[in-house]
Amino acid sequence: MNFLDLGLSEQTVRAVNECGIEKPTTVQTDVIPAILQGKDIFTIAPGGCGKTISYVLPLIDIIFRKNRQNILVMTSDSQKSVMISDQFARLSRFHEEEGESDEKNASDVIIGSPDLLTDLVKEGQIDLSQINILVVDDINLIKKNKQIKNMEQLLELMPADKQNIVYTNRRSKETQSILDKILKAPEEIKVDKNKEQEANLSHTETVARTETPQPTASVKPIPDPEAMELCAKYRSFQGKTPKFLLNKAELADCE
């Protein structure tokens, strides 16, 4: 099984291969086709399984179909938002090079935590009433950061007929009530913990083969300071996809 077999475009697959990842992990194999088919998805997967790429890749292809989608990626904190935006920027670059950007029909992508998004809504900077696709990156981490209340308020502002993609690192009784509000007959995908090693090996290969200079294994990549400042000032990534504000940042490693 390779990424082309999952229904991704050649441009997207070329980008992920040049990151040093040639084979999809278990979560990517299961999730990517389901997202492309427009299904609601509930994924239970431990850290390190490659879940970020499992939704970034199909969303890039959806973005470049030119049918204008409004996408919201809800994260647990601003640093995670920066890393996700880096992934979008890196993995969409071959679409950009081929001149596929269409300003009139471009999709909007908003990435942020419930707390930041709540402030943006209050300031009148974003409108969630037209969201077509919602991704909740890890609902348990959002709960751990005490942002569930804001998340529930944001859900009230979104249409009911959107596609919903929710991830968690483990099933939790505390989040079941809000999951019931988000998901409609979802396809449930569960990745066993012993699959975590497979993604970690792929990630190691990525660090070794990517053209962008990488820090040593003991040093964590530092997000671009300007991007972090934008997050601190409650600014989401408001450029039309794929013109991300982080296109000058040092890109994070592919997950």
Give the pair of three-digit tokens for residue 150. Answer: 């804001």
Q: Is residue 115 part of a domain?
A: yes
State pLDDT tens for residues 151-169: 999 999 999 999 999 999 8
Structural domains in the chain (count): 1
State pLDDT tens for residues 201-214: 444 444 333 333 33
Q: Is residue 175 part of a domain?
A: yes
Q: Are 207 and 56 in contact (CB under 8 A)?
A: no
Distances, alpha carbon 255 to alpha carbons 8, 34, 48, 70, in Å: 18, 20, 7, 24
Which candidate, 188, 135, 204, 203, places its Cα nearest to that of 164?
Answer: 135
What local confidence, expressed as pLDDT, does residue 66 receive?
65
Q: Are 49 and 191 in contact (CB under 8 A)?
A: yes
Local structure of 86: helix, strand or coil: helix
Q: Is residue 52 part of a domain?
A: yes
Q: Is residue 194 part of a domain?
A: yes
Q: Is the pLDDT of residue 150 over 50?
A: yes
The rounded distance, in Å, linking the Cα atoms of 72 and 223 is 21
- Is residue 225 very low, low, confident or very high in pLDDT (cuts 50, 70, 90)? low
Could you tell me the residue range of the domain that residue 182 belongs to? 4-232
Cβ neighbours around 170 below 10 Å, total: 11
State pLDDT tens for residues 11-69: 999 999 988 888 999 999 999 999 999 999 999 988 888 999 999 999 999 988 867 78
Distances, alpha carbon 122 to alpha carbons 139, 145, 149, 184, in Å: 23, 20, 15, 28
pTM of the model: 0.77
Q: Is residue 161 part of a domain?
A: yes
Q: Is residue 243 part of a domain?
A: no
Q: Is residue 251 part of a domain?
A: no
Write the single-letter amino acid at 241: T
Q: Is the pLDDT of residue 232 over 50?
A: no
Which is more confident, 244 or 131? Answer: 131
| Phi, psi (deg, nearest 5) at residue 44 | -105, 115
What local confidence, expressed as pLDDT, does residue 203 receive?
46
State pLDDT tens for residues 174-205: 788 888 889 888 899 988 766 555 555 444 44
What CATH number should be reported for the domain holding residue 78? 3.40.50.300
* Mean residue pLDDT across the chain: 76
